[in-house]
Structure 1
Amino acid sequence: MVEKHRFRWTAEDKKKENLDNVAKDILYKNLDKNMFTKIKTCSTAKKIWEKLTQLCAGNDQTKENKLTFAIQKFDNTEMKLEETLSEFDERFSGIIIELIYLGKEYLTVKFPCR
């Protein structure tokens, strides 16, 4: 791909460049210093987003490990003695949201009697 010189840019090219700069600015403002150092060499907002996705989601093996761990948390979930029903619901809902994020959905949930 050959890049155009700025003096040959059309109005559409200028608009796209401006939108890319706005997107990069939003991404930069929402990153901590550690994450910023990992993406600072990316030249476009799209490349920044792809890098962040890769860093946060991980590779297939990482995703599989996260899913396995989340399933174990789900399977071993019990209400603690000192926990209120509201606290348990919040904790359990967090586990369900994590599973959905990782691609696993439970349509019905049955708790065994203990």
Structure 2
Amino acid sequence: MVLKAKAVNMLNCEISFEEYRKVSRCKTAKKFWDKLQVTHEGTAQVKETRIDMLSKEYEMFSMKEGESIDDMFERFSIIINSLDAMGITHSEQMLVRKVLRSLTRE
């Protein structure tokens, strides 16, 4: 029990004040970790919903009228990086094709 308390105290020193408020009442490192995990990753259902939303954004992605290529690529990168973080990856070849198909006639 003393070891667990030390671990919790050590973890408390390494997080921001906002995160500390969320986990300050946790008595064990396990509860502390679980709380942070749900806070940052969400539950399995939340994660699945995020994946669905990001996948839809990826599928529907296209260049907006008047948008620069740099701005379009930045939006695309955010979607791809978010999907990667959720464990959904695409080959470079697929990504290049998607970008090329998303360009406007301009």
Using structure 1 for the length normalisation, give the TM-score: 0.68
Say if 1:65 and 1:20 are closer, same or farther in 2 by CA, change over 3 A. Answer: closer
1:68 aligns with 2:52: yes
Alignment partner, residue 81 of structure 2: 97
Taking the aligned partners of 1:88 and 1:69, their CA distance within structure 2 comes to 19
The aligned counterpart of 1:25 is 13
Backbone CA RMSD of aligned residues:
2.6
> Which structure dedicates a bigger proportion of its chain to helix?
2
Farther off after superposition, 76-85 or 92-101:
76-85
TM-score (norm 2): 0.72
Deviates more, 1:102-111 or 1:85-94: 102-111
For structure 2, the residue ranges without an aligned partner over 5 or more in a row are: none
AA aligned opposite 1:23: L
Preserved CA contact (<8 Å) 2:51 2:86:
yes
Q: Out of 16, 20, 42, which is 1:58 matched to? A: 42
Higher RCO (CA-CA < 8 Å; seq separation 6+): 2
Give the SS at the match of 1:86.
Answer: helix
**Residues 31, 67 of structure 1: CA spacing in aligned structure 2 closer, same or farther, 3 A cutoff?**
farther
Residues 60-88 of structure 1 show CA distances to partners (whole Å, capped at 9, x for unaligned) of: 22111111110000011111122211111
- Closer, same or farther: CA 105–31 of 1 in aligned 2, 3 Å: farther
8 Å contact from structure 2 (residues 12, 24) kept in 1 = no
**Which has the larger Rg?**
1
Number of residues of Structure 1 aligned to a counterpart in Structure 2: 97
Deviations 1:71-112 (A, max 9, x none): 000011111122211111111000001101111100132234
For structure 1, the residue ranges without an aligned partner over 5 or more in a row are: 5-12
